């Protein structure tokens, strides 16, 4: 009887917790502790990360060979885990190719568009905090990647290559114009982009759309992607129907 009660209690807890994150802070908490068990590997480079006893999210740059990959002034952010929007949050400030009203209002009021839209546009807030699009990332790589379009060929200057080492090591190349993600996650990126297109009105450029179509075929859904998607559904109540 006690075992049955414990199982029912566990199911009840999942049901209560499931739901759209009410804020970005809540979304990050859910990402780091419920989608991932307080540790894992960063998306672009496969660096191990964990939460310390002091509740700090830290990356082990030494373990993935990136301890010397950043200048001294960037080391603090490089050692920090950040929640990366694989599809940049600025991309869905537009819906169906038109600026959301909240973005227009933010500009008129001289406010940060992302913050303003999270407060005033429920759909944007849901898109911004959707766990489908959030992954743990090396903080400084998140900053360098910014909102650059994806590509698989070099374009622009100031090229930076981050080559993670170890069993889970991956490589991302970032220039002044584009981000070239590791091959292992290109299909994942594509399917998230198509999900945002269908769910939140994201309008992809012809070039990005063609690239993502190709990536989705070359890199089909993996077991890791399936497991993550299933966990997200249990945590927030829905997931990406394209990642099945």
For residue 244, what pLDDT is reported?
Answer: 85
Q: Is residue 217 over pLDDT 50?
A: yes
CA pair distance 81, 60, nearest whole angstrom: 10
What is the widest separation between alpha-carbon atoms in the chain? 65
Tokens 């991302």 identify what position?
A: 172
Position 219 pLDDT exceeds 60: yes
| pLDDT recorded at residue 17 | 44
**Cα angle at 27 between 24 and 33, to 5 degrees?**
140
Q: How confident is the model at residue 18 (pLDDT cuts 50, 70, 90)?
A: low
In this predicted model, what pLDDT tens digit does every residue of 157-201 receive, in sequence order?
A: 999 999 999 999 999 999 999 999 999 999 999 999 999 999 999
Angle formed by the axes of helices 186-200 and 206-218, to 10°?
Answer: 130
Nearest to 78 by CA among 99, 64, 58: 58
Mean pLDDT of 36-52: 98
pLDDT, one tens digit per residue, over 85-136 is 999 999 999 999 999 999 999 999 999 999 999 999 999 999 999 999 999 9
What are the CA-CA distances from residue 106 to residues 7, 114, 117, 129 (Å)? 47, 9, 8, 19
Where are the strands (E) in the chain, listed by range?
39-41, 48-51, 57-59, 81-85, 94-95, 98-99, 134-138, 160-163, 171-174, 179-180
Task: Read off φ and ψ for residue 94, nearest 5 degrees.
Answer: -105, 145
């Amino acid at each position: 009887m006690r075992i049955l009660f414990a199982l029912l209690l566990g199911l009840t807890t999942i049901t209560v917790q499931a739901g759209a994150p009410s804020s970005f802070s809540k979304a990050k908490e859910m990402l780091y502790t419920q989608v991932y068990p307080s540790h894992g590997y960063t998306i672009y480079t496969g660096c191990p990360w964990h939460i310390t006893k002091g509740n700090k999210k830290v990356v082990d740059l030494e373990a993935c060979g990136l301890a010397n990959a950043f200048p001294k002034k960037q080391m603090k952010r490089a050692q920090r885990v950040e929640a990366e929007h694989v599809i940049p949050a600025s991309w869905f400030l537009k819906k169906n190719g038109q600026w959301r009203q909240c973005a227009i209002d933010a500009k008129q009021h001289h406010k940060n568009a992302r913050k303003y839209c999270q407060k005033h546009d429920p759909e944007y807030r849901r898109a911004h905090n959707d766990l489908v699009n959030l992954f743990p990332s090396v903080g400084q790589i998140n900053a360098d990647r910014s909102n650059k379009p994806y590509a698989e060929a070099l374009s622009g200057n100031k090229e930076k290559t981050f080559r993670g080492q170890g069993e889970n090591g991956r490589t991302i190349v970032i220039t002044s114009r584009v981000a070239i993600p590791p091959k292992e996650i290109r299909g994942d990126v594509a399917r998230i982009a198509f999900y945002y297109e269908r769910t939140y009105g994201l309008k992809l450029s012809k070039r990005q759309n063609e690239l993502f179509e190709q990536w989705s075929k070359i890199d089909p859904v993996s077991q890791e992607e399936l497991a993550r998607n299933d966990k997200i559904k249990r945590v927030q109540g829905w997931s990406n129907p394209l990642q099945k």
